[in-house]
Amino acid sequence: MAKKGKAKKILSIVAKVMVIILLLVVPVASFLTTYLIQKYDVEYTGREITLDWAYVNPFTGYVYLDGLVISEEKSDSVFISMDGLSANMAMLKLFSKTYEIEYIELMKPYINIIEKEKSFNFTDLIKTFTPDSTKVKSDETTRFNLLNIEIVEGKFHYDEKPTPIKYFVEKVNIFSEGLRYDVDTMHYTYSFSSGGGTGKLKGDFNINLKNLDFRLDSKIDSFDLGVVNQYIKDMTNYGVLAATLDAEFKSNGNFKSVESTTAAGKVTVSDFHFGKNEGEDFASFEELAIDIVELSPENYIYHFDSILLKKPFIRYEKYDSLDNFQTMFGQGGQNVAAVNADPYKFNLVIATAEFIFKLSKNVLKSNYKIARLAVSDGDLQFSDYSLGEKFHIASNPFSVTADSLDKRRERIEVQVKSSIQPHGEFWVALSINPRDSSYFDLDYRFHTIPLSMFNPYTKQYTSFSLDRGSMEFKGNWRVRAGEINSDNHLIIIDPRSSKKVRNKDTKWLPVPLALAVLKERGNVIDYDIPITGNINDPNFNFWDAIYDLIKNIFIKPATLPYAMKVNNAERKLEESLSMPWGMEEHTLSETQNKFIEKMIVFLKENPAAYITIVPQHHTVKEQEFILLFEAKKHYFLANHGMKADAFSESDSIKVQKMSIKDVGFVAYLDAHDNSDLLFTVQHKASHLIKQSLVDSRYQDLLKARQTAFLSLFKKEKLDDRVKILAGKNVVPYNWFSFYEITYGGKFPDYLREAHNDLHELDNRSSREKYKNDREKISNGK
């Protein structure tokens, strides 16, 4: 009995010791883990590693590290930190040579990734933990499983030094069932938010780690694309981009080949703005929506339900050297080429452009289909600042429509139409064989375009403005197997030049003589210009123009009396209904005085009659003239050491004739504003001269015109029968500001006679066929 009691006592003691040992294993293992990690961290990893505490259970395989921080190599800067890391290893499977981490979870990890020219800030860790392939022995019976990987509420920072780029994402949640030794494919679900901006992304991702096949199902919600500004900055001298991306799509393919990608879904880019700064766009659009039914470049499939572009805006500006896009991207895009040639730089914008190019390069070879293509409410603008005065034209609203662009159809129909600002319209209709572009029909018409719109060019290269005239250009092309059969018709109705402009900016050509030779009896220039031959080598038939020119030279002199009657009738009618004002002009000419005297006689003879004046102000152009005059005056006074009160009338004439491209004047403007983002004389002048001064001078000009106009009426005490209404800011059809005159109470005899004379002349054969066009011009249409 004693022996049994002693054995029982020993067993009890052993059991207690075992329990004590078991109870101590976990805290001891946890303590040792904390101690060993922090003692040997630099020796084995090259990094300083700290943690608040650790929990290790060698019996269950559970590990938890709290407050884990891993520093950068040879630095105390944080590389990785997290609230906690937990993992569990399947201990029993170790006996079957299977290393299986059943799950690993990172709680609120912070990861800072830094890219240098040839490496990342974790390259040293890869080298440290990559086994030596010459020493590792293959053991096919050893298996490794990494399962149930989860990142919760992470924050990842990316810092690319070469470009440089800084960006981060937050609220990163990633879950994967992990990877088994006998399975090549990993599946992930992910979601994260853009850091420092708006936008959320979520989706599912599958990748075969062996052959790099992938499958992606993703949704992007209101993602701010402002991050790309850092890439744009690297290849531009200036510029800002803003846009929002929404997308929901599915795709699959292989990372080794872009062409292998297949995709379906919707992509929408909205509120796109790109330009000099946040307030000055060079390009923008309200929305670009692409609905993809199936996209597969490798299989030559490009099937879109719709491609819709709303309110696109493009502004192209030409300067004395280069243009707005070349000043941004460098001459010939040299900035982009330099970035693209740098092997140590990755540029997301260039990479995206290359990706899209690779996706789309097989379009024309494929059986493409776009059920609906539309561009709506576009605004395309062109400004030329290289001239003596600014030229501006716009296509607005601009639209393109095409239903069912399908290569399987016999014909594709595309229509383009737009108003031209400030005046005019155009439309183009294209019908093309999608399988052979050498078969197409093209019809077009540009009409109701005033010649005066091109005065900045005519003044620059001829010294003459055009204060009257309307142009139409229309035609139709029938091209079969590349062989052209086309009619092209140019009509210029009632062209007329004004007085010669004397300025150092201008060259000289005898425009009045040219018009006299080119115009036909009906005061029109009307030429057919057939184009034939092959599309690659067209033939222009100018015989109609040459024949009309010869005819005008030898036959028209006999019709000069008729032409003079037409001109006199037109001028009488025009002068009776409007009074034009030249740029900066505020005194009455002899002709204007005579016309006002005629109106005075009319009012005296008709006591119940009155006259109403509606000023039509070409405000934009006249203020440009005032701005440039005041800037040149500023330079003139400084250059001559004069004070403003010494500025004389002769000095004023000298300033008016001074070229805005004068080297001294431009240097003076540059000296007063050294901004690198002012490319035109007009913009530089606006920084020198306050807008308030321009407004004041302009108001003085309008008052002076009104005073001059009313002076003769006041002298005869008839000014109470002349009503001057509020003016309108317009771009006049004939370019110059004018007073629009209407008569109340009774219609003047001289106006009725002018109408009758012109009506009679318009009904003659040489002018009758242009009657409708003239009516459109007279109505400003």
Sign of the torsion formed by the C-alpha atoms of 618, 621, 625 and 627? positive
Tell me the domain boundaries of the chain: 1-128+142-183, 238-437, 562-778
Rounded CA-CA distance 272/242 in Å is 6
Rounded CA-CA distance 492/470 in Å is 6
Q: What are residue 485's DSSP bridge partners?
A: 478, 532
Specify the CATH architecture of the domain 562-778: 2-Layer Sandwich (3.30)
Could you count the other beta carbons within 10 Å of the beta carbon of residue 478? 14
Structure tokens at 115: 């890219």
CA-CA-CA-CA dihedral for 358, 362, 412, 376, to nearest 10: -10
Over the stretch 564-595, which tens digit does the pLDDT of each residue have?
Answer: 555 655 666 666 778 888 888 899 888 888 88
pLDDT interval class at 138 (50, 70, 90): very low
Lowest average pLDDT, out of 135-149, 381-395, 417-431, goes to 135-149
Asked if pLDDT for residue 618 goes beyond 70, the answer is yes
Could you count the other beta carbons within 10 Å of the beta carbon of residue 462? 20
Which pLDDT value is given to residue 763?
Answer: 52
* Sequence-ordered list of residues with C-beta below 8 angstroms from that of 737, at least 6 positions apart, any chain: 580, 581, 615, 616, 617, 618, 622
Over the stretch 322-331, which tens digit does the pLDDT of each residue have?
Answer: 999 999 999 9
Amino acid residing at 549: L
Over the stretch 342-396, which tens digit does the pLDDT of each residue have?
Answer: 887 888 888 888 888 888 888 888 888 999 999 999 999 999 999 988 999 999 9
CA-CA-CA-CA dihedral for 711, 717, 718, 719, to nearest 10: 50
Structure tokens at 395: 């296509």
| pTM (2 d.p.) | 0.85
Which pLDDT value is given to residue 510?
Answer: 83
Element (H, E) at 594: helix 590-605
pLDDT interval class at 781 (50, 70, 90): very low
Closest CA to 773 of 762, 764, 765: 762
E strands in 521-673:
524-528, 531-534, 537-540, 578-581, 610-617
Which pLDDT value is given to residue 136?
Answer: 45
Rounded CA-CA distance 735/615 in Å is 14
Amino acid residing at 130: T
Rounded CA-CA distance 15/21 in Å is 10
Asked if pLDDT for residue 10 goes beyond 70, the answer is no
Rounded CA-CA distance 60/63 in Å is 9
Instruction: Count CA within 13 A, CB hemisphere, residue 667.
Output: 6
Q: For 237, which DSSP code?
A: S
C-alpha dist (Å) from residue 144 to 128, 138, 182, 491: 20, 13, 9, 83
Closest CA to 780 of 577, 612, 581: 577
pLDDT interval class at 549 (50, 70, 90): low
E strands in 501-567:
524-528, 531-534, 537-540
Rounded CA-CA distance 441/411 in Å is 10
C-alpha dist (Å) from residue 670 to 94, 518, 766: 78, 44, 55
